[in-house]
Structures are given as structure tokens and as C-alpha cells.
Amino acid sequence: MANIVLLFVCLMAGVVLRLSGRLPDDAPAALNGLVVNLALPALALQHVHGIQFDSSLAAAVAMPWILFALGATLFWALSKALALPRETTGALMLVGGLGNTSFIGLPMIEAFFGPRYIPIGIAIDQLGSYLVLSTAGILIASLCSGAQPSAAGIFRRIATFPPLIAVAAALALAPVSYPEWLTSLLERLGNTVVPLALVSIGLQLRASAIISNRAALAAGLGFKLILGPAAIATMIVLLYGHFGETARVTLFEAAMAPMIGASVIAMQYRLNNELTSVMVGAGTLASFATLPVWWDILQLL
């Protein structure tokens, strides 16, 4: 419950700070820079290092990759049909295709399934969602940013993306135990992701953005909260014919609100910041209504 309250407090703090004029206009860029270069790498170094991966989690870890690919395909087709700007298309692909599988996902797994299923959520988040963001996400952001980078430039951006470097380092250091002081330091730094990112989002959140982006917002949240999870559920049934507990947790994670980390990257690459902000804000609120519905559906599968 404390994690959920933190989401709302930080989001509203950003709104209040914007209205008060106490922070400069470029404050969101500075906050996003801290998230990408410090907080997200610390989070990866902490959690990826301790993951116990086995073959039974392979399908669960694949879910964010599949969901992102489905979303990217849908939003690309939608952009062609509606002649959407590529910045809007990129924002939809990133924020509409990746879920908040950690800061909302893990507390929700604990609340609905119990704490023993949290390792499944961590594997989905760190080896799925964050790896997608660090590779395919950076590729999409680069292509849609309007900078027209070369193939070498895109590869350089992916290879030098701090969270991806942190994931690689954490995997390489898996046989080595972290000293207690380092574990504590990484945890404290990683815990700043949500406050910094949501304050940044709140600073850019405006009611007018909902109206001006209503079609794209409906498409993005419609896929993230309803159509995407439904597609994952269909795949599970077709492949396995039934739902085990791992599959239930996987589908539940697929139904989470848009990913905060993805919104930070979208903002850094200037992919329709207004849409990005309202998708995270409105999507987080909407998910508290849609997740219990998905839970009820899971009881029937």
C-alpha cells in the first residue's frame, strides 16, 4: 500500500511544484537525467544480480518482448492510418508497449498472489521489461526522435545506455557476493527512481494534454490495459491449453499500467512529452480499476 501512496504523492508533488513555479522549466530534463544515469543502473545492479533464473521462467521473461512487438506493430499501423507524427508514434510504442512491472507490478503481485510469487515478477521486470527498454526501446526512441541517426549511432546509443551496461555488469558479477554496504547503497539509489520520475511527470502533466491527445491516449491505454493482456492470454491458451500460477502472474504483469522508465526515455528523446505524461498519470489511475477485473478473469481461466 505504501508504494501505491508514493505514486500518487510524487505525481501530485510534481503538479504542485509546477503550479507554484518553484522549479525552472528545464527541471524535468535534469530529473530524467538522474533517473537514467544513476537510479535505473543502481536498480539493475541490485535486482539482476540476485535473480535465480531457470527454464520455467523463460516464457514469463519473453512476455514483455512479445507485448512490445505487438504494440509497436499496432501503433505503427495506426500511425499510417491516422497520419500521426512520428514523435507521437514513438511515445505510443514505448509507453503503450511496456508495463510498470516493478513499482506497481510487484506490490500488486504480493497483494493478489502472495510474496512467494514476487521472484517471477522480478524476472519479468529486469530480464524482460528493462532489457526491452534498454535495447528495442532505445532503437525506437532513436528512430522516432527526428534526429535521423546512423546505424552506428543507434548501436552506440544502445551499447552505452547506462541501465543496459548495469544489467551486463550485474550478470557478470552474479558469482560474486556484494558487500553489505554496496547492497544498501544500490537499494537507496534504486529507490529514487519512482520519486524522481513521477515528480518529472507531474511537472509536465496538464489537463489540456488529455483533450489534445485524447485519440492517441485512448489507443495507448486501450492496448496497454486491455488489448495487449488479452493477446497474451490468447497466446497462453493456444500454447499451453491452461493457466498455471506462473502464467497467471505473467498475464497479471502484462496488464500493468505504462512503465515509468519508458516514459523517462520517451521524454529524453522528446517523443510527445504531453502524451507521455498523461499516459502514465491516467494509466496508473485506470489500472487500479482494470487490474481487479483481470484478477477476476484469471479465476475463471
For the stretch 87-118, pLDDT in tens is 999 999 999 999 988 778 888 887 888 878 88
**Segment 3-48, tens digit of pLDDT:** 677 777 887 888 888 888 888 877 888 887 888 888 888 888 887 7
pTM score, two decimals?
0.84
Per domain, the residue ranges of the chain are 32-300
Q: Which three cell numbers stand for residue 141?
A: 526512441
Predicted confidence at residue 147, as pLDDT, reads 67
pLDDT exceeds cutoff 80 at 164: yes
More confident residue, 232 or 268: 232
Q: Which three cell numbers stand for residue 197?
A: 520520475
CATH number corresponding to 32-300: 1.20.1530.20
Predicted confidence at residue 3, as pLDDT, reads 66
| CA quadruple 100, 73, 245, 164: dihedral sign | negative
Q: What rounded mean pLDDT belongs to the chain?
A: 86
**Average pLDDT, stretch 167-172?**
87
Q: Which residues are CB-neighbours of 238 under 8 A, at least 6 positions away?
A: none
Residue 261 CA to residue 40 CA, distance in Å, equals: 8
Predicted confidence at residue 231, as pLDDT, reads 95
**Average pLDDT, stretch 124-149?**
85
Predicted confidence at residue 68, as pLDDT, reads 96
**Average pLDDT, stretch 202-219?**
82
Buried b (16+ CB within 10 A) or exposed e, 197-215: bbbbbbbbbeeebbeebee
**Average pLDDT, stretch 179-191?**
91
Residue 48 CA to residue 127 CA, distance in Å, equals: 8
Q: Which three cell numbers stand for residue 42?
A: 543502481
Quick count: other Cβ atoms within 10 Å of Cβ 218? 11
Q: Which residues are CB-neighbours of 173 under 8 A, at least 6 positions away?
A: 49
